[in-house]
Structure 1
Amino acid sequence: MAPAAVAVAGGRKNWSAECKNLWRVAGPVILTEIFQFGLGFVTAAFVGHIGKVELAAVSIVNGVVEGLAFGLLLGMGSALETLCGQAVGAGQTHMLGVYMQRSWIICVATSLLLLPLYIFTAPVLRLLRQSAAISAVSGTYARWCVPQLLAYAVNFPIQKFYQAQSRVWVMTAISGAVLGVHALLNWVVVTKLGRGLVGAALVGAFASLGGFVRLSIASAVMLCLEMWYYTAVLILVGCLKNPEIQVGAISICMNYQLWTLMVAVGFNAAVSVRVSNELGANHPKAAKFSVVVATTTSAVIGLVFTAVALAARKQMPRLFTGDDAVVNETTKLGYLLAATIFLNSIQPVLSGVAIGAGWQSLVAFVNIGCYYLVGLPLGAVFGFKLKLNATGIWAGMVIGTVLQTIILFVILARTRWQKEAMLAEERIRTWGGSIDLPSIQENQEETK
């Protein structure tokens, strides 16, 4: 066989092998995320048929209050993706339990600090210029969601602990069972017993610690800046005229794009595991190749979802509401929703690379610039000054996401993967004790 043909065959084999490695983690994580997101989706679907105010209230609590808590605690737990993943690659599995215990301490303490936000949701929303009706209903719903806050603090570190070891099917099975019970209880409590929002909320429900806290905070800031971007969009939309209609439309679009985001989140987790494992094992070339495969695969799937969103943009809103005004406003957002879906098939994968490599602080600064200095100001100008309402605010959000994605690609193109592997080895020595790995210089086959 000619050398060129051998090279092509070898490339296909490597690509296929890496795809299997990625899907081994991404598949179960996608299902887990779908099941977990389905909890909020089911709640919104049942509550949306109670009334416009109730739908807007649940959307505000899910997007603003729980979005804040979810982002912080998920970010704190995501420090484990870097540390546990690189420790697994280096063969230092004895440190995984220690890392998880440290993460529990940090996450539980954070959840206790967030309790006042749940208790005083109504006055906080009034300070943010949300309508009195929505604020009052949101306050009642949020107080009954406190058990869910405490569950997040315990849940996320466990997820990352298993995920770093590619042991993800156990979380998938548990999440699937919980979703089934959740849907049944919503039907009984909200629909049959008529308990409304309260029923829906009830159903929903020290060595080297300093360095661990710093990485946890960096992870939290990076992920929170991404998740709070959508929170800020909801708050801006809530300040428009007819907020019940505008917030309802935005929340329906966000629900749909979050469904498609689950695939990218799966690849986010998978590429984080692959990059952290390979860097921890001093395999920089394998880490780089994994990034290429994960980004390409997720983008192709994103194109399919984008086409579906465009084709069904007039029919999808009626799953959530029968109100024609909300349906019409949601339909107007269809093209921007499609653009967001495609961008969200790429951006989370790049964030997963950042977590696997330990770049959380760098990406946090990128997010501040793109989201809060560009995207949100433009959204405010488009929405209020140009009177484009929810469409203008969402357009600003999309521009910020485009800019962020471009910058992350530039960072990836300039990355020296040998240096990243050396940094991973140093991180393991600092926080994980002794290791016995071949040096980068000795690992020539990985760099040629």
Structure 2
Amino acid sequence: MTKKGENKNMENGITERLLDSNKKDADNLKDRTWDEVKKLWRIGAPSILARVSSFGILVVTQAYMGHIGEIELASFSLVQNINMRFVDGILYGMGNALPTLCGQAFGAKQYHLLGIYLQQSWIILLTVSMFLVPVFIFTTPILRLLGEPEELSYYAGKLSPWFLTVLFYHLLGLSTQMYLQAQHKIMIVGWISAIAFVINFILSWLMVDKLNWGVPGAMGAMTVSVCFIFISVFFYVFGGWCKDSWKGFSKSALNELWPVVKLSISSGIMLCFDLWSGGVLVLLVSYMKNAKVSVSAFSICLNIIAWVYMIFIGFSGAASVRVANELGKGDALAAKFSIKVNLSISLTVGVIFSILALVFSENISHAFTSSNEVAQEVSSFSTLVALIILLNSVLPVLLGVAIGAGWQSLVANVNLVCLYIIGFPLAIFLGYVIHLQVKGVWMGVISGVAAQTLVLAYITWRTDWDAQVGKTMTRFNRSILPSSEEVSSDITSHA
């Protein structure tokens, strides 16, 4: 064989080896991606079912209130979007320290810490809730102070005490769900929430349509459904289905409470800035002409967005669990890969729902109101609603990554600047100075959300994930909380 032939054979051999290597890499990437997709959906799908169903209870109640009357719909919208968003931002926000703590502990196989972290969260949230109950008792004077119309303030004050059950659901129920999600036991919550949604729909139909109980019927159906969720979740935890992580109430929950308090405060501030934005929007719109129509239409748009947002909250929960678990295990590459896959799936879903919002906006609005004026107002916002749904398909995943990694303090600053220094001032300028009215408010807020998304995407992209693993390991190494054997001997009560 000539030298030229030998070189040609050698080149062919190298080419074949490169092709084989590329094929193996492609197959490996395909297998890794499919494996990650399955992990994300095992966490995300039940979480989506739970979020959509539990929020659906409020949506169904709002729909019935809209068919009872415009003033009832506007009053319900004020309480939900001002009182509940204020309280939810604090309780849900502070409770979101749990996905960080429990997720990383589960990844590190420190299962005994999950139950202790849950009890610490309850202690913190119960303490805070003592200062939040008056928000629902003094709703009318609070809304008057904020400059709301007298009629809306009066009727909102009549409705607000009904929301106290939702307050305690957010206090104890949501934190328990986060504890279950961190250990991949969220499916039971999904089924419980779905059953509660069906109960709410049936009771609303019975009490409002058949028995003509009006507002008390709609709010009573909501109360029964919400109570069903958190009683069922407690029964699951205390009934022995979480034997590795729940050993009963323990005095160990009082150990190292301050670090959990600090993380809870950071988490609360982070999500308060995010969740309170809806309440600020409703306030801005309520000062415009024809407040009843504006508030009703704007609230319907917010609820459409929020209901779709519950799907992305499921992806957010999956992101926080996967990132926290992998950091707890010490695998930085797996954490990065999970983020890429999650963002790809969530963005695809966001594109689909944005298209649906453009096509079916007017049809959806009639489900919430009998007023053609309100329905037409909702329909006119369809393009802006579709755009914010698209942004929301990315932002919650990035927030979930931040929660899983424990970046609550950093993200709190990002949310403050993007929403309250950029978004809302621009909304006021466009809505009131340029006189674009409600559309101007929407455009300003979308600008803030876009800035928020871009900044968080940059932070995530530039993060040194190996350093994040080091920080997680350091925190567990210096923890002085007792092991599961020590906790067992300190049980004061056992489920």
Q: Distance in 1 between matches of 2:74 and 2:478?
A: 48
Paired residue for 1:139, among 157, 161, 172? 157
Unmatched segments (≥5 aa) in structure 1: 436-448
Q: Distance in 2 between matches of 1:259 and 1:432?
A: 41
TM-score normalised by length of structure 2: 0.86
Paired residue for 2:90, among 43, 48, 72? 72
Match of 1:446 in 2: none
**Matched AA of 1:17:** D
**2:387 corresponds to 1:369:** no
Q: Distance in 2 between matches of 1:86 and 1:296?
A: 24
Higher alpha-carbon deviation: 28-37 or 186-195: 186-195
**Matched AA of 2:345:** T
What's the CA shift for 1:315? 2.1
Over residues 90-132 of structure 1, what are the superposed CA-to-partner deviations in whole Å (9 max), with x where a residue is unaligned? Answer: 1100111111101111111222210110001111111111111
What's the CA shift for 1:172? 1.0
Match of 1:294 in 2: 342
Residue correspondences, number: 435
**Matched AA of 1:195:** W
Paired residue for 1:242, among 285, 290, 300? 290
Q: Distance in 1 between matches of 2:219 and 2:91?
A: 19
Contact preservation (8 Å) 2:74, 2:295: yes
**2:189 corresponds to 1:171:** yes
Match of 2:222 in 1: 204
Over residues 369-426 of structure 1, what are the superposed CA-to-partner deviations in whole Å (9 max), with x where a residue is unaligned? Answer: 0000010111111111122111111111100000000001110111000000011112
Match of 2:371 in 1: 323
Q: How does 1:354-433 map to 2 (within 5 A)?
A: 354-431=402-479, 433=481
Match of 1:45 in 2: 63
Q: Distance in 1 between matches of 2:288 and 2:78?
A: 14
Q: Distance in 2 between matches of 1:202 and 1:432?
A: 46
Match of 1:117 in 2: 135
Paired residue for 1:335, among 380, 383, 391? 383
- 3-state SS in 2 of match to 1:275: helix
Q: Distance in 2 between matches of 1:394 and 1:165?
A: 38
Contact preservation (8 Å) 1:84, 1:164: yes
Contact preservation (8 Å) 1:60, 1:138: yes
Q: Distance in 2 between matches of 1:113 and 1:202?
A: 25
Q: Which has the larger radius of gyration?
A: 2
What's the CA shift for 1:203? 2.9
Q: Distance in 1 between matches of 2:343 and 2:69?
A: 40
Over residues 67-89 of structure 1, what are the superposed CA-to-partner deviations in whole Å (9 max), with x where a residue is unaligned? Answer: 11122111121111000000011
What's the CA shift for 1:249? 0.9
**2:198 corresponds to 1:180:** yes
Higher alpha-carbon deviation: 321-330 or 225-234: 321-330
Over residues 231-270 of structure 1, what are the superposed CA-to-partner deviations in whole Å (9 max), with x where a residue is unaligned? Answer: 1101111111111111111111112112221221111000
**2:102 corresponds to 1:84:** yes
Contact preservation (8 Å) 1:261, 1:344: yes
Q: Percent identity?
A: 38
**Matched AA of 2:404:** G
Match of 1:444 in 2: none
Higher alpha-carbon deviation: 286-295 or 103-112: 103-112
- 3-state SS in 2 of match to 1:314: helix
Q: Distance in 1 between matches of 2:152 and 2:279?
A: 16
**Matched AA of 1:423:** K
**Matched AA of 1:275:** V
Q: Distance in 2 between matches of 1:361 and 1:8?
A: 39
Q: Which runs of 4+ in 1 moved over 6 A?
A: none
